[in-house]
């Protein structure tokens, strides 16, 4: 016999809480993914995703949208496999664990890698990036829009402009921000913007989403050994028919269609971004009002979808994990921080940090109730 599953409201940084209407959509009929029923779901869903990216609903020759079975990492791996040829350098610019993981993907695929690394909590310094661009003349540069391990947001559009000025193709990890803040892709020069379904889109995981530019597709044609599902040229042929390359999760397709209809036609794209900004402000006011706690990210670089807070001196990771367990019986899942980062901070004698995910379909009322409960537990811990 299975144990009963707890129905917790997730305030972690993904996967995120799924509202009842989207949960119910998983029970809509399964369908054939090469049948006309596929189009009823994926044609409007893909239009909605393009609008959310700041693109026209219909492909206009600048970007195409790929639905890759897998998750955000699947799209990120496809970017490095499809866009860097042998002998070319990919410059990775990690500002935390997920930037590091992208670099690992390039190395695991035998790519030539240079690294410009920023300390946890820092954003990319454009001057240092420019120096690195001049020094290593990369063909491709991988940057993170929103670093989930530290709560740092980079000005990805400014970084894309700089990278292009130096003649390289920018690729961007937007996994934990897409759907919660503008991606601003039209005219951005970004070659490939990668994201996923389980964060600010408030869906289960299952698709890596990739917006690929016409220039990226042209470049891929000259790159050998792009793999099969990591080949953006193979993917785009299917995407042009509003299909996934291999069999998709049809329950997720149903949920994606229902959720994109809600985002575009009920909530509205701009209202969704505005709600995320209000949630962020609530989280900031909460952290600012906690005696002894501080923000991990510097002002001006704090994520619109999650907030990382430094605990007072003397707190350890174990204490944050106890906070998590104290919140569980109240129906909430607390995020005691990115494990590896907290272990490193702790062993260096630094302050540990926890995170508040405030993305997806969470309302202001839900966040207010959670922050009130969290405040009580932190005060008693």
Ligand X SMILES: Cc1ncc(COP(=O)(O)O)c(C=O)c1O
Site for ligand X, rule CB under 6 A: 14, 71-73, 98, 144, 146-148, 173, 175-176, 196, 205
> How buried is 187 (Cβ within 10 angstroms: 0-12 exposed, 13-18 middle, 19+ buried)?
exposed
44/170 with CB nearer ligand X = 170
302/378 with CB nearer ligand X = 302
Asked whether the beta carbons of 68 and 75 are under 8 A apart, the reply is: yes
175/203 with CB nearer ligand X = 175
| Smallest separation (angstroms) from ligand X to the CB of 80 | 13
202/378 with CB nearer ligand X = 202
| Smallest separation (angstroms) from ligand X to the CB of 126 | 20
Asked whether the beta carbons of 354 and 310 are under 8 A apart, the reply is: no
CA distance 282 to 60: 38
| Smallest separation (angstroms) from ligand X to the CB of 75 | 8
Dihedral angle over CA of 94, 95, 101, 102, nearest 10: -40
145/275 with CB nearer ligand X = 145
| Smallest separation (angstroms) from ligand X to the CB of 170 | 16
> How buried is 230 (Cβ within 10 angstroms: 0-12 exposed, 13-18 middle, 19+ buried)?
buried
Q: Is 9 helix (H, G, I), strand (E, B) or coil?
A: strand
140/196 with CB nearer ligand X = 196
CA distance 95 to 118: 5
70/138 with CB nearer ligand X = 70
Instruction: Return the residue matching tokens 């029970």.
Output: 27
Tokens linked to 370: 């959670």
Q: Is 307 helix (H, G, I), strand (E, B) or coil?
A: strand
Whether the CA torsion 341, 342, 344, 349 is positive or negative: it is positive
77/361 with CB nearer ligand X = 77
| Smallest separation (angstroms) from ligand X to the CB of 356 | 15
| Smallest separation (angstroms) from ligand X to the CB of 172 | 10
71/229 with CB nearer ligand X = 71
CA distance 191 to 323: 42
CA distance 48 to 177: 16
Asked whether the beta carbons of 191 and 171 are under 8 A apart, the reply is: yes
- Neighbouring C-beta atoms of residue 289, cutoff 10 Å: 10
| Smallest separation (angstroms) from ligand X to the CB of 270 | 24
| Smallest separation (angstroms) from ligand X to the CB of 15 | 9
- For the chain, give the number of residues: 381
147/361 with CB nearer ligand X = 147
The closest alpha carbon to 354, from 378, 320, 381, 377, belongs to 320
| Smallest separation (angstroms) from ligand X to the CB of 63 | 20
| Smallest separation (angstroms) from ligand X to the CB of 36 | 30
Give every CB contact of residue 357 below 8 A, 6+ residues apart in sequence: 10, 11, 12, 13, 14, 16, 305, 306, 335
């Amino acid at each position: 016999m299975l144990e009963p599953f707890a129905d917790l409201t997730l305030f972690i940084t993904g996967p995120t809480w799924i509202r009842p209407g989207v949960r119910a959509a998983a029970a809509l009929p399964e369908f054939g993914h090469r049948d006309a029923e596929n189009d009823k779901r994926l044609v409007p869903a893909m239009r909605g995703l393009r609008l959310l990216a700041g693109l026209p609903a219909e492909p206009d020759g600048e970007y195409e949208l790929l639905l890759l079975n897998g998750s955000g990492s699947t799209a990120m791996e496809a970017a490095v496999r499809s866009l860097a040829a042998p002998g070319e350098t990919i410059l990775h610019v990690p500002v935390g664990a997920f930037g590091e993981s992208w670099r690992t993907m390039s190395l695991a695929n035998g790519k030539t890698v240079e690294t410009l690394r920023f300390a946890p909590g820092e954003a990319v310094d454009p001057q240092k990036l420019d120096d690195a661009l001049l020094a290593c003349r990369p063909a491709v540069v991988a940057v993170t829009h929103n670093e989930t391990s530290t709560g740092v947001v980079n000005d990805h559009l400014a970084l894309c402009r700089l990278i292009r000025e130096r003649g390289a193709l920018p690729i961007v990890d937007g996994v934990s921000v897409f759907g919660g803040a503008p991606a601003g892709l039209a005219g951005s020069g970004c070659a490939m913007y990668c994201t996923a379904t389980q964060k600010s889109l408030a869906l289960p995981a299952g698709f890596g989403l990739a917006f690929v530019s016409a220039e990226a597709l042209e470049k891929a044609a000259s790159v050998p050994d792009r793999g099969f599902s990591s080949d953006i040229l193979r993917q785009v042929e299917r995407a042009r028919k509003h299909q996934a390359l291999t069999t998709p999760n049809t329950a997720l397709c149903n949920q994606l269609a229902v959720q994109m209809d809600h985002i575009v036609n009920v909530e509205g794209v701009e209202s969704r971004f505005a709600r995320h900004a209000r949630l962020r402000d609530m989280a900031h006011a909460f952290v600012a009002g906690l005696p002894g706690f501080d923000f991990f990210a510097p002002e001006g670089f704090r994520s619109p979808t999650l907030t990382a807070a430094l605990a007072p001196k003397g707190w350890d990771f174990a204490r944050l994990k106890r906070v998590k367990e104290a919140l569980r019986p109240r129906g909430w899942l607390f995020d005691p921080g990115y494990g590896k980062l907290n272990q490193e901070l702790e062993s260096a004698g630094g302050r540990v940090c926890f995170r508040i995910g405030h993305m997806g379909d969470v309302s202001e009322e839900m966040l207010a109730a959670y922050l009130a409960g969290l405040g009580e537990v932190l005060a008693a811990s």
